[in-house]
Amino acid sequence: MDKRYAIFDMDGTLVDSMRFWHALAPEFLAARGIGEMSPALMELVRPMTMAESTALLLREYDLPDAPEAAQAEMNAVMAEHYRHDVPLKPGVKAYLTWLRSRGVRMCVASATAEPLVRQCLARLGVEDCFEFLISCESVGAGKTRPDVYCAAAARWGARPEDVAVYEDAYYAVKTAAEAGFYVVAVYDDDTAERWEEIKALAKENIIGWEIPA
């Protein structure tokens, strides 16, 4: 990667957190006496912000919870995981340090709320690698649209083709690639079934976070 700027996804890319996210909505529904979520609904929820996914669950199951209260409940559960449980992927810290030593300017663009991202990255000792954090919630769109990447690039005054975007999910890789960004696909067990499709859309791919020779 020879770009001056780099945007990193967090969940599934920098940190191994997807198992906690996958459990969140089913646990929220189970507490209300609702059984398993359908795979189709899980797939719909995946690219959404917390606000979007909460609204969908309340609407889909006709739940009486206030959206703000339901979102706060799920944020509180994830906050505990980010504060205590979610690990950095092996090799990430060394890779970020290497990029920074080469003068690459970096940020995190995540569907996760900025306070949760900050808590997690600070605990893991890598927050200072990034100039800023930006969330899909703050720009009002999930990663099926390029808004969060474009907003990050705009803060640097950079063109998409001068910015590398590190992502693990097919829909995010597709969005960033179609918007003209230089995409680096990151392997994650959670998206392994689409890895060949993901690689085909990206300029580079990373299986493990090793510093290039």
| 69-93 per-position pLDDT tens digit | 998 888 888 888 888 889 999 999 9
- Tens-place pLDDT, residues 93-150: 999 999 999 999 999 999 888 988 999 999 999 999 999 999 998 999 989 999 999 9
* In-domain check, residue 47: yes
- Classify residue 211: in a domain, yes or no: no
Looking at the structure, do residues 96 and 176 belong to the same domain, yes or no? Answer: yes
Same domain membership, residue 166 and residue 122: yes
Q: Looking at the structure, do residues 119 and 199 belong to the same domain, yes or no? A: yes
Residue-by-residue DSSP string for the chain: ---SEEEE--BTTTB--HHHHHHHHHHHHHTTT--PPPHHHHHHHTTS-HHHHHHHHHHHTT--S-HHHHHHHHHHHHHHHHHHTPPBPTTHHHHHHHHHHTT-EEEEEESS-HHHHHHHHHHTT-GGG-SEEEEHHHHT--TTSSHHHHHHHHHHT--GGGEEEEE-SHHHHHHHHHTT-EEEEE--GGGGGGHHHHHHH-SEEESS-----
Q: Do 43 and 119 belong to one domain?
A: no
Distance CA 29, CA 132 (A): 34
User: Is residue 42 domain-resident?
Assistant: yes
Within a 10 A sphere around the Cβ of 43, how many other Cβ atoms?
A: 11
Q: What b-and-e string marks burial along 63-101, b requiring 16 or more CB atoms within 10 Å of the CB?
A: beeeeeebbeebbeebbebbeeebebbeebbebbeebee
- pLDDT of 196: 96
Total number of domains in the chain = 2
In a domain, 103, yes or no: yes
Looking up residue 150, the CATH number of its domain turns out to be 3.40.50.1000
Residue after which a domain boundary falls, among 84, 105, 138: 84
What is the value of pTM for the model shown?
A: 0.83
Last residue of a domain, one of 51, 84, 117: 84
Average pLDDT of the chain? 92
The CA distance from 158 to 166, in Å, is: 16
Location of structure tokens 């600070």: 122
What's the domain range around 173? 5-16+87-206
